[in-house]
Amino acid sequence: MQTKTINLAFVGSGNWARKHHFPALDYVRARAAGRFELRLRGIYSLDRAEAAAVAERYGFACVYDSLDVLIADREINAVAVAVPPEAAASVLERVIALHIPIFSEKPPGISTAQARRLGEMVTVPNVLAFNRRFAPLNDVFKDVVDKMEYTYFVEGHFLRHNRLDETFMIGTGIHWINFMTYLFGDIIHVSVDRFPNPQNETWVRVAQVTFGGGLRGVLKFFPCSGSQVERVEVHSNVQSAYLNGPLGDDPGKIVIETGAECRVIQPAVLPDAPEILRIGIVGEYEEFFEAVCYGTPSRSTFQNAVNAMRVAEAIEYGEGF
């Protein structure tokens, strides 16, 4: 079978892209033999100097002078976008017109309305980069959860240390909402207890949620705490399962308790493996390129992100539905 050639154009050169996206592309390209050939066709960024530095380091063939020039390049057959949320919708609406597969950093815009509009516009294979869905340990936990019977309650903790983001939920907390919907289905009801942190201008948020199948749960979002952790616990009468998700240098682990028995699942990906592999950045790109080559479905798309954005927006502003 002939190897598929992917000519990728990239939009953006910010810190997150430099730390995670470009190393992940380099990692995937070096290991793609026999599946596809990845060519880094060109990069565009408002920061021309940074784009030039990225192009030289990672082997992009050119730096586009403008987004118009990128759009006019008929050689590209895939595009990746990693720009700030406030710019995402305007950039994506333009590259959608190319009708080629799209990879985009999360979130899909800054509101539910923008997310819904993009979900309706994107009709090509796509991946929205909610990397928690692609972390190897998290996928093991999903398999554990899927096999549990008669679960009746879940709890999710998304805790950060000294995060002063103005829109914490939409910009960051949405990651955890999206992952919880990956595990348990769309959230159909949410009520929010939101109160100010007494020591700064951030908000503490605790949300009661109901998932589509009737499962009840609580989600906690603390931007300023002593911990940096992403934790899920799931309970049935017979079994309880706990995930400490991989985050930064912490490889995470899964604990399964059945009465007096306790089983610990350590990550199959070794702790000294690249962070981009452990936290799912490599996985999301591999799935995207499979979609480019074969049209295969992705586990994270513009379409299934709309519910997560709706929930994030509700929790952000202390509203329910």
Report how many helices (DSSP H) and strands (DSSP E) the chain contains, helices first: 12, 13
Q: Are residues 162 and 252 in the same domain?
A: yes
Q: Are residues 49 and 91 in the same domain?
A: yes
- What average pLDDT score do residues 128-139 get? 97
pLDDT of residue 166: 87
- What average pLDDT score do residues 268-289 get? 90
pLDDT of residue 248: 86
- Residue-level length of the chain: 321
In a domain, 276, yes or no: no
Contacts of 40 (CB under 8 A, 6+ apart): 8, 10, 25, 29, 58, 59, 60, 61
DSSP string, 86-128: HHHHHHHHHHGGG-S-EEEESSSSSSHHHHHHHHHH--S-EEE
pLDDT of residue 34: 85
pLDDT of residue 272: 74
What is the Cα–Cα distance from 146 to 106, expressed in whole angstroms?
25
pLDDT of residue 249: 86
- What average pLDDT score do residues 253-282 get? 91
pLDDT of residue 193: 97
Q: Are residues 66 and 152 in the same domain?
A: no
Q: Are residues 188 and 145 in the same domain?
A: yes
In a domain, 294, yes or no: yes
Q: Are residues 62 and 149 in the same domain?
A: no
Quote the number of domains for the chain.
Answer: 2
Alpha-helix residue ranges (DSSP H) falling in the chain = 15-16, 22-30, 48-58, 67-72, 85-95, 112-121, 136-147, 168, 174-184, 275-278, 281-294, 306-316
pLDDT at 301 over 70: yes
What is the Cα–Cα distance from 302 to 213, expressed in whole angstroms?
22
What is the average pLDDT value for the chain, to the nearest integer?
Answer: 96
CATH of the domain at 285: 3.40.50.720
pLDDT of residue 273: 83
The token pair at 279 is 């936290």
Q: Are residues 207 and 295 in the same domain?
A: no
Q: Are residues 118 and 183 in the same domain?
A: no
Cis peptide preceding 107, ω within 30 of 0: yes
pLDDT at 271 over 70: no
What is the Cα–Cα distance from 61 to 7, expressed in whole angstroms?
10
Nearest to 95 by CA among 122, 114, 127: 122
pLDDT tens for 154-195 read 999 999 999 999 899 999 999 999 999 999 999 999 999 999
Q: Are residues 106 and 200 in the same domain?
A: no
Residue 71 structural domain:
4-131+281-300
Least confident piece of the model among 205-219, 225-239, 271-285: 271-285
CATH of the domain at 193: 3.30.360.10
pLDDT tens for 40-92 read 999 999 999 999 999 999 999 999 999 999 999 999 999 999 999 999 999 99
**CA atoms within 13 Å, Cβ hemisphere of 208:** 3
pLDDT tens for 240-249 read 999 999 998 8
